[in-house]
Amino acid sequence: MFQKIIFVIHQIGSGADGGIQSISELLFNTPRLEKLVITNIATPASARWEAHGEVALWNMTEAAHAQSRRGPGYRLGQIGRRLANNWRMARLVRRQGVRVVHCNDHRAFWNTALGAKLAGANVILNVRDTMRPGARFHFMWRLALRICDLFLVLSREMVDSWIETLKPLSLKERQRAKFAFLYSIVDMARFHPVPPETRRRLRQELGIGESEIAIAYVGRIEAKKAQLPFIREALEPIVERVPNVHVHFVGDFLPDRDAYSAACERAVAESGCGRAVSFAGYTARSADWYRACDVLVLASEREGLPRCVIEGLACGAPVVSFDVCSVREILEGHECGRAVNQGDYGNLVTAIAALCDNPGERARLAGRGPEVATRLFDAGRNGDLYADLVTRLSWGADDVFRH
């Protein structure tokens, strides 16, 4: 008998979205669960979900990527819509007899969790990021912790980070027991290394020169991903130390209507390194970029478990990253990449340049990454762990899931 579950997934409408990719892999790899997916917009992702369960569109008044809806009218509309959606969820849970509702982020949570609880369901709050430094509204997250039955994150470091963020409430035994983690799933049929001759062909197709040292920085162009300070602080020193280098920014890039993208474009021009930089924009060929690059770089402001890092490892990309959440746990804990203290651009440049100058070390990391990814992010294993979690939670087990 299949275990019923409702997934509530708020989408922001961007092409590159690691969170949507992560929850999609969970939907695809849990055949023991009977799924109903509630989401806010029709996208290529939601179209793929339909092969694994029913998909329903609900209106959620929530600001999306590159939008700024913060006026009184927006707030009133948001409150009204959240109340309506929670009442709708309560009726749906009662009608369907569902025992577990999975809310994929805080927007999905506030639109449906209260209604789900009112109707007697257990609620999973799946958090895929860490709190922005200096962010407000910690009280809302503490309230969310009180309401949910499981606060599910993506790594051990994330558990520690959120417990620290939500103190003192998170230190109470009942609330602390709600924290658990499950590594994301990587589709190894899509993300895997290729033979040298295939890699050479991919480099040609992507416009990478034969003698070029290609650095890939994968992620939509936005403040959180911190491409702008990377351009201002690291680009020129990298070009000086690695003369044949070229930096490829791969991800949503809209300089004509997005101020951050435009600022990145201006910063490259002002650096005088324009010939060594390309903005590839959003592409469905992220796996090919991972395979084709010589070094994969991430200098984000914050992350949960960076999707580009784990997919890059699976494809054999040597990784250098700031030590945003989960990076040291994966890269240093499994000796498969380089982690640099957050914001230390000097050492970031040094680590990148050292790897660019050392083809032997790049080859070692290229072999190590897929081994680690296969062990940690396997679809069958992590899908079964999640299905077990849902089954135990639905029957009220005290020790639901502790990794």
DSSP assignment letter at 132: P
**pTM recorded for the entire structure:** 0.92
- Decide: helix, strand or coil at residue 7: strand
Strand partners, 124: 102, 150
Mean pLDDT, residues 305-320: 97
* Domains present along the chain, CATH in parentheses: 3-185+378-394 (3.40.50.2000), 196-376 (3.40.50.2000)
* Residue pLDDT, tens place only, 175-218: 999 999 999 999 999 999 999 999 999 999 999 999 999 999 99
Mean pLDDT, residues 331-347: 97
Query: Is 289's pLDDT higher than 90?
Result: yes
The rounded mean pLDDT for the chain is 93
Q: What is the pLDDT of residue 15?
A: 61
Q: What is the pLDDT of residue 75?
A: 80
CB 235 within 8 A of CB 247: yes
- Decide: helix, strand or coil at residue 218: strand
* Residue pLDDT, tens place only, 373-384: 999 999 999 999
* Residue pLDDT, tens place only, 130-139: 988 777 778 8
CB 112 within 8 A of CB 93: no
Per-residue confidence at 294, pLDDT binned at 50, 70, 90? very high
Spell out the residues 6+ positions from residue 253 whose beta carbon is closer than 8 angstroms to its own. Answer: 220, 221, 261, 264, 279, 280, 281, 282
* Residue pLDDT, tens place only, 221-253: 999 999 999 999 999 999 999 999 999 999 999
Per-residue confidence at 69, pLDDT binned at 50, 70, 90? low
Q: What is the pLDDT of residue 132?
A: 81
Q: Which of 65-74, 130-139, 162-171 has the highest mean pLDDT?
A: 162-171
Mean pLDDT, residues 330-336: 96
CB 21 within 8 A of CB 219: no
Q: What is the pLDDT of residue 174?
A: 94
Q: What is the pLDDT of residue 2?
A: 80
Per-residue confidence at 66, pLDDT binned at 50, 70, 90? very low
Out of 32-41, 60-69, 332-341, pick the least confident: 60-69
Q: What is the pLDDT of residue 135?
A: 75
Compare 399 and 238 and report the one with higher pLDDT: 238
CA 155/CA 121 separation, integer angstroms: 25
Spell out the residues 6+ positions from residue 137 whose beta carbon is closer than 8 angstroms to its own. Answer: none
Query: No. of H helices and E strands in the chain?
Result: 17, 13
Mean pLDDT, residues 30-44: 95
CB 319 within 8 A of CB 336: yes
Out of 8-22, 75-89, 365-379, pick the least confident: 8-22
CB 224 within 8 A of CB 301: yes
Mean pLDDT, residues 76-85: 91
Q: What is the pLDDT of residue 403?
A: 44
Question: What is the percentage of the chain residues whose pLDDT exceeds 90?
Answer: 87
CA 254/CA 285 separation, integer angstroms: 18
CA angle 279, 285, 290 (to 5 degrees): 80
Q: What is the pLDDT of residue 109?
A: 97
Per-residue confidence at 277, pLDDT binned at 50, 70, 90? very high
User: What backbone phi and psi angles, to 5 degrees, belong to 321?
Assistant: -145, 150
Q: What is the pLDDT of residue 64?
A: 53
If one counts every other C-beta atom within 10 angstroms of the C-beta of residue 101, the result is 29
Rg of the chain on CA atoms, in Å = 22
